[in-house]
Amino acid sequence: MFIDVHVHPAFYEPINDDPMRENMRHEVLDIHLNGIAKLEHVRNQMRLAGLDKLCLLPQDYLTEEGEVPVTNEEIKKLVDLMPDQFIGFASVDPHDPEAAEKLDRAFGSLGLSGLNLHPGRQRFYPMDECVQPLYDICETYNKPVMFHAGMSWEPHTLAKYGRPIEFEELAETRPGLRFCLGHFAWPWLEEAAMLMVKHKNVYADTAVLYFDCAREFYSRLFTRELEVTWIDRSLRHQVMFGSDNPRFEQIRMAHALEDLGLRGSTVELIKGTNALEFLNGLE
């Protein structure tokens, strides 16, 4: 099983029948060069990368932008079209007075599988009071949280909200809440590793920025900035494959993972086993 835990479906064809919403997404997300992806194209990209499932992440920026670029209902629509391939997450704005109600509906009625939050764009720290009710709901439903951590490529974001050290108290005070530091919290990889080695409820994904070549950048991050043995021995159960598609190329990142020199058993954990435990919890 090969799962990409970090995919943004903002430009998938079934949710882009309104040109005004499509244009809004280009502006709010600052993604301009891609076209609209038919589901046939998505399936083909998955095949070429060897992927079996994608975790689709919506984005709710209601307070800061006055927009919800991808809604929970749109994610549900996509999941219903490809239920064997798509795993849908929810998103709510922690500053929205109706956030808890919306999240409860996303889990209870829509059947979505986790919560996606972007501290740098939604302007909150992980231990702020406004987000605590959302964690309560996630724990009640046994759902994980995906955080955008570290640098963001989206406009009007501040990395300070997503620095790994800001998540330490959350990991300490809510050991039953599984959460992922998206993008391995780049450029703070060592801080992320520090949290992960101490707190087994903290995960990270590989959807990190690369400059010119995914293979070279992965090699630098995961064999030099972090010793390859750190992942292969100590963090192997907490790292998941993620691409941040469509901003980055799934196929290149999947191939780069294979070339890191990790043990085959570690690669299999990163490809899917860890994601299944992140999504469902340990039995």
**Count of residues making up the chain:** 283
Report d(CA 264, CA 271) in Å as an integer.
10
Residue owning tokens 């996509």 = 78
In percent, the amount of the chain with pLDDT more than 70 equals 99
Residue 180 has pLDDT above 50, yes or no: yes
Query: What pLDDT is attached to residue 176?
Result: 97
- pLDDT, average across residues 75-101: 98
- For the stretch 205-262, pLDDT in tens is 999 977 778 899 999 999 999 998 999 999 999 999 999 998 888 999 999 999 999 9
Is 70 exceeded by the pLDDT of residue 17?
yes
| Residue 273 confidence class, pLDDT cut points 50, 70, 90 | very high
How many other C-beta atoms can be found within 10 angstroms of the C-beta atom of residue 82? 17
Domains in the chain, number: 1
User: What CATH number should be reported for the domain holding residue 16?
Assistant: 3.20.20.140
Measured from the Cβ of residue 273, the count of other Cβ atoms closer than 10 Å reads: 16
State the residue range of the domain holding 115. 3-280
Instruction: Report pLDDT for 249.
Output: 83
Q: Determine the average pLDDT of the residues in 44-71.
A: 96
Is residue 43 within 8 Å of 250, Cβ to Cβ?
no
Alpha carbon 210 to its chain centroid, in Å, reads 16
Q: Omega of the bond prior to 246 within 30 degrees of 0, cis? A: yes
Return the number of other C-beta atoms located less than 10 Å from residue 197's C-beta: 13
Please report, for residues 146, 150, 209, 261, the alpha-carbon distance to residue 267 in angstroms, rounded to integers and kept in the order given: 21, 24, 20, 9
For residue 15, give both structure tokens.
């949710």
Asked whether residue 282 carries a pLDDT value surpassing 70, the answer given is no
Q: What pLDDT, on a 0 to 100 scale, did the predictor assign at position 283? A: 47
One-character DSSP codes across 103-172: HHHHHHTS----EEE-HHHHT--TT-GGGHHHHHHHHHHT--EEEE-S---STT--GGGG-GGGGHHHHH
CB 71 within 8 A of CB 128: no
Residues with Cβ within 8 Å of 32's Cβ and at least 6 positions away in sequence, in order, are 26
Fill in the amino acid letter for 166.
E
